[in-house]
Amino acid sequence: MTRSTARRRVTAALAAVGLSLTACSPAGDATGGGSGPFAVWDPYPQFDGGSAWARVIAECGAKAGVEVERQAYDTSDLTGKVLLAAQQGAAPDVLVVDNPVVSTLAEGGVLKANEDSGLDASQASPNLVAAGRVGDKTYGVPIGANTLALYYNKAVLARAGVDPASLTSWAALDAALARVAGAGGKGITFSAIGTEEGSFQFLPWFWGAGAELTDLSSAEAVAAVGLWKSWLDRGYAPNSVVGNTQTTSWQEFATGEYAFAENGTWQLGNAARLGFEYGVVPIPARDGGVAPAPTGGEFVTVPARGGADREATAAKIANCLVGADTVLATDTALTYVSAIPAVQRQQVEAEPGLRVWVDAVGSAKGRTGDGLGTRYPRISQPLWTAVQAVLTGAKPAADALRDAQSAAASAK
């Protein structure tokens, strides 16, 4: 691919995310040669230079025999910064990026395919690697995964006479919510906000009903949003879910008043400080079993810089970050379930409470999987818009989802 072609592809990707070229400071050496420190960009500004995560990066650089410089950005800013840097020939050497963004960067020509860079994703679970598949190529390796499950308040369920082990289908969960309400308790809180967070939280119910993202207006999709609407209508869920983020819904659960909260592994630290006993169960599918939840978490990737030697060294750093010998320390630092089954077993041995999360990750799906790639954002926005319309009573479920399917089909 010529440099002018690469620039056009990046420019198209910039346009797709609503950005234009502006000045961007270079990431280390931008010439593709071997000089200068190796730049590692990640979306973890909460971890400073003295953190366990920063130490892992430094150690992987040392193993590759090079100096590394790390820059951390908010997830919402990182994609734009990478695209702008790539357009100027100043991409980082190693990029850790949210998994739904991988397809956008790959199609923009920003990332090297694993077969070209030397990255090895063979040890990671295929359902997690799928988020990095574009066409017949894989870009990057999942550094770990998080996903969604149901936290529950043991005392609230005990007062209602609900056995958590019984929560294996929608009917069983509905029955539990009815018993909680009958005992004077509050039911379930979640995030249905009109952003990607809302779609993320809705997908387990959507997929758990048997719906597919290629058909937002299916009977299964109508059943899923109908379930959420029924909880609001019956008072099992608060009206605040329409504006809740995953953080504010967790704050509602933390009051100790709710039986359930849909949330993720990233709340485990907060869960330990709740002040009441809690448990976790998988989100049930409509007719039983575990619903597929969307995978959260980042991929470690190697951007294209035009210098084979430098890219090969970058791949050594990246492989170190996700390799079986290092990734337990990596995932412990980032509070992730590992993408490698053998390391997951080590995590469960050290902390048996992680078993439910490992099971949930094993059933999880990538949002850009099933060949959707960069089409996913054009599907997600109409989906969360439809869910909002149904929950607020603006539209019946069938009408809202029919409109969503039309919008997704016509989006460019």
Asked, for residue 182, whether it belongs to a domain, the answer is yes
The pair of three-digit structure tokens given for residue 61, joined into one six-digit string: 């650089």
Phi, psi (rounded to 5 degrees) for 85: -65, -40
Verify that 403 and 325 share a domain, yes or no: no
Distance in angstroms (rounded) separating the CA atoms of residues 206 and 74: 29
Verify that 168 and 309 share a domain, yes or no: no
Asked, for residue 156, whether it belongs to a domain, the answer is yes
Asked, for residue 348, whether it belongs to a domain, the answer is no
Domain edge (last residue) among 335, 355, 389: 335
Residue carrying the six token digits 């330990």: 272
Please spell the DSSP secondary structure of 81-101, one letter per residue.
Answer: HHHHHHHTT---SEEEEEGGG
Three-state secondary structure of 161-213 = CCCHHHCCCHHHHHHHHHHHHHCCCEEEECCCCCCHHHHHHHHHHHHHCCCCC
Asked, for residue 403, whether it belongs to a domain, the answer is yes
> What angle, 0 to 180 degrees and rounded to 10, lies between the N-to-C axes of helices 196-208 and 219-233?
110
The pair of three-digit structure tokens given for residue 200, joined into one six-digit string: 């993320």
Domain edge (last residue) among 309, 335, 361: 335
What is the identity of the amino acid at 301?
Answer: T
Verify that 316 and 184 share a domain, yes or no: no
CATH code of the domain covering residue 90: 3.40.190.10
**pLDDT attached to residue 19:** 38
| Residue stretches of the chain with pLDDT short of 50 | 2-4, 8, 10-34
Distance in angstroms (rounded) separating the CA atoms of residues 191 and 198: 6
Distance in angstroms (rounded) separating the CA atoms of residues 289 and 333: 31
Verify that 164 and 130 share a domain, yes or no: no
- 401 is in which domain, residue-wise? 148-295+369-410
Asked, for residue 404, whether it belongs to a domain, the answer is yes
Distance in angstroms (rounded) separating the CA atoms of residues 26 and 283: 44
Verify that 192 and 76 share a domain, yes or no: no
**pLDDT attached to residue 77:** 85
Asked, for residue 353, whether it belongs to a domain, the answer is no
Verify that 156 and 69 share a domain, yes or no: no
Verify that 256 and 277 share a domain, yes or no: yes
Residue carrying the six token digits 């630092």: 333
**pLDDT attached to residue 79:** 87
Residue carrying the six token digits 């988020």: 131
Verify that 219 and 114 share a domain, yes or no: no
Verify that 21 and 105 share a domain, yes or no: yes
Verify that 121 and 163 share a domain, yes or no: no
Verify that 277 and 162 share a domain, yes or no: yes
**pLDDT attached to residue 26:** 40
pLDDT in tens, 247-303: 999 999 999 999 999 999 888 888 999 999 999 999 999 999 999 999 888 999 999
User: Do residues 115 and 137 lie in contact, with contact meaning Cβ atoms separated by under 8 Å?
Assistant: yes
Q: How does DSSP classify residue 280?
A: E
**pLDDT attached to residue 28:** 45
Domain edge (last residue) among 335, 352, 383: 335
Asked, for residue 341, whether it belongs to a domain, the answer is no
Verify that 252 and 208 share a domain, yes or no: yes
Handedness of CA 357, 360, 364, 367 (dihedral sign): negative
Tally of domains in the chain: 2
**pLDDT attached to residue 9:** 53
Asked, for residue 364, whether it belongs to a domain, the answer is no
Q: How does DSSP classify residue 264?
A: E
